[in-house]
């Protein structure tokens, strides 16, 4: 049984799904903006929100969960 060693921080399928949702949502909002349903720059705000989400996801992935578990009581209080 040969298992591939993969990095826990890199998940290709998750990145593909994220990029697919990103493209579909930006294109849909851009197309709806052409008819005046949304503001003229709604698609640029969508891109900014996606970038903020990416930064949050990357930051959360670098937390050591064992250390966070030790601090959980203090964080809760």
Which structure tokens are listed for 66? 């064992």
Per-residue model confidence as pLDDT tens digits over 11-58 = 778 889 989 999 999 999 888 888 877 777 888 999 999 999 989 888
66 within some domain = yes
4 within some domain = no
Which structure tokens are listed for 11? 């998940």
16 within some domain = yes
CB count in 10 Å sphere of residue 75? 7
What is the maximal distance between C-alpha atoms in the chain? Answer: 57
Judge whether 29 and 43 are in contact, CB under 8 Å: yes
Residue ranges making up the domain that contains 17: 12-76
5 within some domain = no
6 within some domain = no
Domain total in the chain? 1
7 within some domain = no
Task: List Cβ neighbours of 43 (8 Å cut-off, separation of 6 or more).
Answer: 26, 29, 30, 33
42 within some domain = yes
User: What was the pLDDT predicted at 5?
Assistant: 58
20 within some domain = yes
């Amino acid at each position: 049984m040969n298992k591939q060693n993969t990095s826990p921080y890199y998940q290709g399928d998750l990145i593909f799904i994220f990029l697919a949702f990103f493209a579909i949502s930006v294109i849909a909002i851009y197309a709806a903006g052409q008819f005046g349903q949304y503001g003229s720059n709604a698609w640029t705000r969508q891109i900014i929100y996606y970038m903020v989400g990416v930064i949050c996801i990357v930051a959360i992935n670098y937390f050591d969960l064992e250390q966070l578990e030790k601090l959980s009581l203090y964080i809760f209080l």
